[in-house]
Structure 1
Amino acid sequence: MSDKLAPDGLVMRLAAHLRVRAARDGDLLPSEAKLMADLGVGRQQLREALRVLEAFGAVDSRQGARRRWRGVNLGGLVASFAQLTGSPQETTAELLGVRQALETSMLAKVMPMHTPASLVALRDLALGMEERAARGVSFIDLDEEFHLTLFAPLRNSTLEGILGAFWTLLSVVEGPTQQGVADPDVAAMHTAIIDAMQAGDFNLARYELDTHFYGVRLRVLPSRLDLKSRRTTKQSLRHLTHS
């Protein structure tokens, strides 16, 4: 099938080509003439593909200046797509499920990679969340930093992109006040995770990590879900935290 009939194929080819030609954030893109020759496409096809990359933030275009490469980030693409389709809340809830599966499965690999210093850093973040929650202040930034720090030793940019997309969408869903991210119970669950890690108890650490997602779920369930669904989730949380 030709690129004319499958413009998404051209977008992918263009993105792959630019990653090689303009590998660093801020690099100038080759001229349109050069790109047309490299890819074997017409000017209109090229400009349509460039507009798609611009919409997702991979290419920066300003009037009177040459385009610059900003990179293809999985998290950024997911966040941009959800906002463009008008369903950030539903996508946030779906991303939470993806996070839960990935984080609980990857904990076994990352836990032995942590040092005493990195564990102290994680505890400081958890305690910071508890302190803010006690004052009724959002700890969304510390929450994000906690999970990024937890999995930083893996150096997995795809995982980091997914985590970043989740918090980007969460900030959109909850608005500028972000009061939903001030739950003392959820903050305390992060402390429980690091308690288990510092004790060297992997099974407990994985249990605490998995459990904490049920607390987070209470604030990101799509509004279209009825009260009964929310009560079911809350009952699951009580069962997990008191079993």
Structure 2
Amino acid sequence: MEESSKKLGVQSVHRNTLSQQVVDQIVHLLVTGQMKAGDKLPPEMELMKELEVSRPVLREALSALDTLGVITRKTREGTFFNDKIGTHPFSVMLALATDNLPAIIEARMALELGLVTMAAEKITDEQLEKLQVTIDTIANSEDNDYGEADKEFHKIIALSANNPIIEGMIDSLLITHNKINSLIQFRERELTVKYHKAIYAALAAHDPHEAFSQMYKHLDYVRQKVLQYSHEH
């Protein structure tokens, strides 16, 4: 009877369970084709029994998957794999690598360095004006809490690349931005403004090579700072 209750083709999670292992097992259902985008996940009690984990661990995993855009939790209806997963495979990869900070930062760099070169070719005057507003907001922030303006700067650049295929990755890009942002313990406003102004100047000149170079300097600095802090803690 016990064996017949095992409906899902996932392995039980043993040892000191980490929510990341649960994330891996749930994503495994998609990767192997046992479930597909749009499908409804089993109820929490069934998942807890199937994976042999506690409710807090399961909920932590589901919360991570929700944040990454892999699932949606609907009140009274249940939990579903998102329909858009087929066009947002980057979210699934992030779910699998959520504890691998160097990989997440490198993924952001790879995507954003490509985007900024396309943006240099395509960015409009209106988008440049919006970029300038974010730079001014950061420069004028008195409490150094300018995370949202920083994210908006990078989002405008990503959208100005104006590519419908790449746009499917932008949400995931911003998720990596949030994750990295949450790890920055001290902000250097003047340095951020300096980097952003240099990127802006390259974009305004429609110079892809310079845009790439300046964005690399900026993101590499962020990478070194975040990884140094994570190693110290």
Q: TM-score, normalised by structure 1?
A: 0.61
Question: SS at 2:9's partner residue?
Answer: coil
> 5+ unaligned residues in a row in structure 1: which ranges?
20-28, 33-42, 227-243
Root-mean-square deviation (CA, aligned residues, Å) is 3.8
Alignment of structure 1 residues 1-243 onto 2, 5 Å:
4=9, 9-12=28-31, 13=33, 16-18=36-38, 29=40, 48=50, 54-55=62-63, 56-57=65-66, 58-60=71-73, 65-69=76-80, 71=82, 72=85, 74-75=90-91, 78=94, 82=98, 87=99, 91=101, 93-132=102-141, 135-152=142-159, 153-155=162-164, 156-174=166-184, 180-223=186-229, 225=231
Matched-pair contact (CA < 8 Å) for 1:136–1:182? no
Matched-pair contact (CA < 8 Å) for 1:130–1:187? yes
After TM superposition, give the deviation of residue 190 of structure 1 in Å. Answer: 0.6
**Structure that is richer in helix per residue:** 1
1:207–1:11 distance in 2 versus 1, CA, 3 Å? closer
Structure with the greater alpha carbon radius of gyration = 1
After TM superposition, give the deviation of residue 97 of structure 1 in Å. Answer: 2.2
1:79–1:164 distance in 2 versus 1, CA, 3 Å? farther
Q: TM-score, normalised by structure 2?
A: 0.63
Question: SS at 2:103's partner residue?
Answer: helix
Q: Distance in 2 between the 1:142 and 1:17 partners?
A: 33
Question: SS at 2:38's partner residue?
Answer: helix
Matched-pair contact (CA < 8 Å) for 2:134–2:149? yes
1:118–1:69 distance in 2 versus 1, CA, 3 Å? same
Q: Distance in 2 between the 1:15 and 1:130 partners?
A: 48
Question: SS at 1:221's partner residue?
Answer: helix
1:205–1:68 distance in 2 versus 1, CA, 3 Å? same
Matched-pair contact (CA < 8 Å) for 1:126–1:187? yes
After TM superposition, give the deviation of residue 10 of structure 1 in Å. Answer: 3.2
Matched-pair contact (CA < 8 Å) for 1:79–1:169? no
> 5+ unaligned residues in a row in structure 2: which ranges?
1-6, 12-24, 52-57
1:67–1:122 distance in 2 versus 1, CA, 3 Å? same
After TM superposition, give the deviation of residue 16 of structure 1 in Å. Answer: 2.1
Q: Distance in 2 between the 1:225 and 1:106 partners?
A: 29
* Aligned pairs, number: 190
Q: Distance in 2 between the 1:171 and 1:79 partners?
A: 17
1:81–1:94 distance in 2 versus 1, CA, 3 Å? closer
After TM superposition, give the deviation of residue 5 of structure 1 in Å. Answer: 5.9
Aligned-partner residue type, residue 161 of structure 1: D
After TM superposition, give the deviation of residue 111 of structure 1 in Å. Answer: 2.3
After TM superposition, give the deviation of residue 44 of structure 1 in Å. Answer: 5.5
After TM superposition, give the deviation of residue 146 of structure 1 in Å. Answer: 0.8
After TM superposition, give the deviation of residue 206 of structure 1 in Å. Answer: 1.8
